[in-house]
Structure 1
């Protein structure tokens, strides 16, 4: 069986490198690439690949939001999330929203191939360093304030820091503006911040958004 893979990353060099590695495998085929999560979602619906390698930080919709939408739409594609940050606080949340794999962009070619094969079988794959950190965090009880948020609250938070108004978020999520307002207040209370600027700084500090995205300013 040939594993069909889609690459979703806003850096062309990253996609090129991954494509070269994967195309050398007799059991893998890269069937499409996208530079944004929005285009990536359209590609997944059209191609229905087995695995998608998805960058966390992209202009517009993030890899977290994309993963959430893939799961909610019950698409057959399994997600491997890619990031430059090896941070235990972030992978835990990503795995909770539905990603099956987590890799840093500095992984070896052998690790990339192994992760794709394992996730294609429906098995979870964590970069070794991340797996070790998760185990240690479980033992010592350390966590992130974002662990307190539901998947939907996290999604609303990410849209808020991109500067989207409540009405636009409501439309994106097929919710009423009043419901989104409730989510906003609830997540701000849980995180103990009082406005979106503080939320953006907190999300950057925990690796959930990067420094290019601060309260909707890229």
Structure 2
């Protein structure tokens, strides 16, 4: 039996996933969370084989959750389900440790196939995303965020949500001075001078939803 947790801040999305997956004889929904923070606690306590994770959630993002699960060497495999289908964005998530990537436009059969494939130890990419990834590689296109380390990307995600350096340091177990160094380094790499510019760049490349983030200066 494949044990699954659903992590998405939209209840209707979780309900849809639950209705599809709980009909499968080899799948069981063992928990749900409306935030990445609660989702991480579920993953640690329930140790499911699969976590279906949205990228854009209040608080911790799906990217941060994926990175933390990977860094903690937890056995749960992350399948990201999001509206973003730009090939460069899933590359960043796969680099962070995701095992699968689906768009919310996928049908029920594809969702079930992806869960089974990832539970079996393989990766799954939505066909359209796989094609875009291949084309991006062939064309030599790259996201400016490819130059960031996973920790730098994590700090960037927190900065554009308006979190002060002290709070970021507390959440990542880093000193404010170290966080400030990460901030300076990532902004130099991205060639931006202000967090507002950083937020615009992240919106352009699909890392955040424009209406939902809070930006500091």
The TM tier, using the shorter chain, reads over 0.9
1:213 positional shift: 3.3
Gaps of 5+ in 2: none
1:173 to partner: Cα distance: 1.1
Superposition deviation, residue 214 in structure 1: 3.8
Determine the C-alpha separation between the residues in 2 that align with 1:121 and 1:214: 36
Which residue is 1:72 aligned to?
Answer: 71
**Aligned residue for 1:148?**
147
Distance 1:214 1:40, change over 3 A: closer
Contact 2:78/2:98 (8 A) holds in 1: yes
Structure 1, unpaired ranges of 5+:
none
The more displaced of 66-75 and 14-23 is 66-75
Structure 1: 4+ residue segments shifted above 2 A: 212-217
Give 1:119's aligned residue: 118
TM-score by length of 1: 0.96
Partner in structure 2 of residue 194 of structure 1: 193
Q: Find the counterpart in structure 2 of residue 160 from structure 1.
A: 159
Aligned to 2:58: 59
Counterpart position of 1:213: 212
Match of 2:183 in 1: 184
SS in 2 for 1:17: helix
- Residues 119-169 of structure 1, C-alpha deviation per residue, up to 9 Å, x if partnerless? 112211000000001111111101111111111110000000011111111
Output one character per residue of 1:145-200: Cα deviation in whole Å (capped at 9) or x when no partner: 11111111100000000111111111111112111111101110111110101101
**Structure 1 residue matching 2:131: 3-state secondary structure:** helix
- SS of the aligned residue for 2:4 comes to strand
The question of whether the paired residues in 1 share the 8 Å contact of 2:195 and 2:215 is answered with no
Q: Name the SS for the 2:79 alignment partner.
A: strand
Aligned pairs (5 A) from 1:32-111: 32-111=31-110
Q: Report how many residues are paired.
A: 216
Secondary structure of 2:179 counterpart: helix
Q: Is the 8 A contact 1:200 1:215 kept in 2?
A: no
